[in-house]
C-alpha cells in the first residue's frame, strides 16, 4: 500500500469525523510509494528515500532534516513537500503543514492525496472556503489505492465544509460518497443531520433508517432518528426503536436516556423517571460511558423535574443542582430548582435560583409570585409587598387563586394600603 494513500487516510481519520473505515487497523504508515511512470531524472532523491525510512521508524526529527535538504536541492519535488507536510502535521505544526502541502500541489496539481490532505488541513484551520477548493479537485482525481473508498472520503469531507454555505451541494456530496462506498453509514448520518436542520424531517428519517440498516448499533443514527420522531411527535415510533435497541443492548445508558426523554414527552412520567435513573447508574461494561452519562445535564434536569411533579422535593433538588452545576446556563432548571428549594424551605437557594434564571429569561407572573412568597416566609416584608404588587400588576387573571392569596397577604402585611388590594364589587 502506498504511503500517500495511508497518510491521506490518517489525516482523514484525524481531522474529519466519521471516516471511511479502510486501513483503519493499520497503526503505522508503510513508507512505500505507488510507483508512477516518470522520467529517470525525476527519480526519488536519496534524501527523500532516507527520510521516508526515518518516518517509518518514527524518527521525524531526522526525516525533517533530510526533507529540508531535499526541497532546497529540488524546490519542485512534490514528493518531498508531501512528506514534509506529513512530518509537520504529525508534529502538530498546522501552518507549516499547510504551506508544505500547498507546495506539493503547486509542483504536481494532479495528485489526489496532496489535494485531499491540504483540504483537510485547511478545514481544520477553519478555512472551509479554501478547503472546499482542494477537496473538490480531489474528487476529480484518481487515488493511488482503494479508489472507491478514498473518493468517497473526499466527497464526504467536501460535504462537511460546504454544509454552512452550500447545503444543497453538501447533500449532493454526501450522495456521491454513499454511491462510491455503499457500506458506510456515515454519509447517510451526515445527510440526515443536515436535512433535519433544514426541517426536512421525512427525508432525514429515511437517511437515518438507511444508516441503521448498514449499522444497526449506530447510536448516532438511532439518536438522530429519535430526535426526528420526537420533533414530528411520532413518540410511539421513537419508543419502539429504542426498546428494540435495549432488548439487544440493555446496558446502553445513552439509549435509556433517550427513552426517558421520549417517555417524558408521552406523559409517562413514572416510566421516564425509571429510565433516567437507569441511565445515571454506572455501567459495569463501559466505565467511560458511565462517566459520560453523569456529566450530561439533561437527564439530571428531566429526572429532577419528574421528582418535583411527584413532590419528592429533596431528591428533585439534588438532581436539579447537579443539572445547573453541569450546565450553568440551563435557564429552565433554575426555575424548577427555585420551586423545589422553596418547598424544602431552603429560601435562600430559591432566591438565588430565581436570580440566576433572570439572567437568561424575563420574569413572569409565576416568578414574581414565588419571589413574593419566599420573601414572605423569610419575614422580609418590604420585599414581599413589592413582589406581591408586581405579581398583581402583570398577572391579569391568569392565576386567580394566587391573585386571591396575594391580595389577602397584602392586606395582612401592608394594612395601611388595604383598600388598594380589596376587590371592588
Q: What is the pLDDT of residues 340-375, one digit of tens each?
A: 999 999 999 999 999 999 999 999 999 999 999 999
The pLDDT of residue 261 is 81
Distance between CA atoms of residues 160 and 190, nearest Å: 8
Q: Cα angle at 166 between 162 and 170, to 5 degrees? A: 55
The pLDDT of residue 424 is 61
DSSP sequence for 198-215: TT-HHHHHHHHHHHHHH-
Say which DSSP state 295 is in: G
CA dihedral 338, 343, 345, 346 (to 10 degrees): -30
State the CATH architecture for 1-34+42-166. Alpha Horseshoe (1.25)
How many other CB atoms are found less than 10 A from the CB of residue 273?
Answer: 22
Q: For every one of its 425 residues, what pLDDT tens digit does the chain have, with 9 covering 90 and above?
A: 334 433 433 333 333 333 333 222 222 332 333 323 233 345 678 889 998 888 989 899 999 999 999 999 999 999 999 999 999 999 999 999 999 999 999 999 999 999 999 999 999 999 999 999 999 999 999 998 888 989 999 999 999 999 989 999 999 999 999 999 999 999 999 999 999 999 999 999 999 999 999 998 887 898 889 889 988 999 999 999 889 888 878 888 878 888 888 888 788 878 888 888 888 775 666 666 566 667 888 888 888 988 898 899 999 999 999 999 999 999 989 999 999 999 999 999 999 999 999 999 999 999 999 999 999 999 999 999 999 999 999 998 899 999 999 999 999 999 888 888 876 65
The pLDDT of residue 292 is 62
Distance between CA atoms of residues 8 and 173, nearest Å: 19
The pLDDT of residue 13 is 31
H helices of 360-399, where? 365-377, 381-395
Q: Which three cell numbers stand for residue 231?
A: 420533533
The end-to-end CA distance of the chain, in Å, is: 92
- Closest Cα to residue 88, out of 108, 76, 103? 103
DSSP sequence for 73-104: H-TT-HHHHHHHHHHHHHTT-HHHHHHHHHHH
Is 20:153 a contact under the CB 8 Å cutoff? yes
How many other CB atoms are found less than 10 A from the CB of residue 413?
Answer: 14
The pLDDT of residue 217 is 80
Per-domain residue ranges of the chain: 1-34+42-166, 364-425
Amino acid at each position: 500500500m502506498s504511503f500517500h494513500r495511508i497518510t491521506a487516510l490518517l489525516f482523514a481519520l484525524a481531522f474529519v469525523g466519521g471516516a471511511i473505515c479502510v486501513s483503519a487497523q493499520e497503526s503505522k504508515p508503510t513508507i512505500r510509494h505507488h510507483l508512477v511512470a516518470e522520467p529517470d531524472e525525476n527519480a526519488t532523491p536519496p534524501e527523500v528515500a532516507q527520510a521516508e525510512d526515518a518516518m517509518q521508524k518514527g524518527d521525524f526529527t531526522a526525516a525533517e532534516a533530510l526533507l529540508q535538504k531535499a526541497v532546497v536541492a529540488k524546490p519542485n519535488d512534490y514528493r518531498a513537500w508531501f512528506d514534509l507536510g506529513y512530518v509537520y502535521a504529525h508534529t502538530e505544526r498546522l501552518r507549516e503543514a499547510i504551506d508544505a502541502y500547498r507546495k506539493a500541489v503547486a509542483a504536481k496539481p494532479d495528485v489526489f492525496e496532496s489535494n485531499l490532505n491540504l483540504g483537510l488541513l485547511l478545514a481544520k484551520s477553519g478555512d472551509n472556503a479554501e478547503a472546499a477548493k482542494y477537496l473538490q479537485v480531489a474528487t476529480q482525481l484518481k487515488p493511488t489505492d482503494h479508489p472507491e473508498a478514498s473518493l468517497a472520503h473526499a466527497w464526504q469531507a467536501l460535504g462537511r465544509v460546504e454544509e454552512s454555505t452550500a447545503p444543497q451541494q453538501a447533500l449532493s456530496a454526501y450522495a456521491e460518497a454513499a454511491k462510491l462506498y455503499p457500506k458506510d453509514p456515515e454519509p447517510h448520518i451526515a445527510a440526515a443531520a443536515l436535512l433535519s436542520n433544514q426541517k426536512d424531517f421525512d427525508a432525514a428519517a429515511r437517511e437515518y433508517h438507511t444508516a441503521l440498516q448498514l449499522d444497526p448499533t449506530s447510536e448516532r443514527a438511532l439518536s438522530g432518528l429519535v430526535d426526528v420522531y420526537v420533533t414530528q411527535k411520532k413518540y410511539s415510533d421513537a419508543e419502539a426503536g429504542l426498546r428494540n435497541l435495549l432488548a439487544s443492548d440493555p446496558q446502553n445508558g445513552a439509549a435509556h436516556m433517550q427513552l426517558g426523554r421520549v417517555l417524558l414527552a408521552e406523559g409517562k412520567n413514572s416510566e421516564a423517571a425509571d429510565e433516567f435513573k437507569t441511565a445515571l447508574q454506572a455501567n459495569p461494561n463501559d466505565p467511560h460511558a458511565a462517566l459520560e452519562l453523569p456529566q450530561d445535564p439533561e437527564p439530571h434536569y428531566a429526572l429532577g423535574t419528574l421528582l418535583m411533579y411527584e413532590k419528592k422535593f429533596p431528591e428533585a433538588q439534588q438532581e436539579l443542582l447537579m443539572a445547573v452545576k453541569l450546565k450553568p446556563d440551563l435557564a429552565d432548571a433554575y426555575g424548577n430548582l427555585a420551586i423545589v428549594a422553596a418547598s424544602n424551605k431552603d429560601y435562600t437557594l430559591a432566591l438565588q435560583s430565581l436570580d440566576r434564571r433572570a439572567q437568561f429569561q424575563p420574569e413572569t407572573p409565576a416568578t414574581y409570585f414565588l419571589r413574593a412568597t419566599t420573601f414572605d416566609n423569610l419575614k422580609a416584608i418590604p420585599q414581599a409587598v413589592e413582589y406581591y404588587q408586581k405579581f398583581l400588576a402583570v398577572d391579569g387573571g391568569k392565576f386567580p387563586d394566587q391573585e386571591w392569596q396575594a391580595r389577602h397577604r397584602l392586606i395582612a402585611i401592608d394594612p395601611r394600603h388595604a383598600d388598594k388590594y380589596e376587590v371592588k364589587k
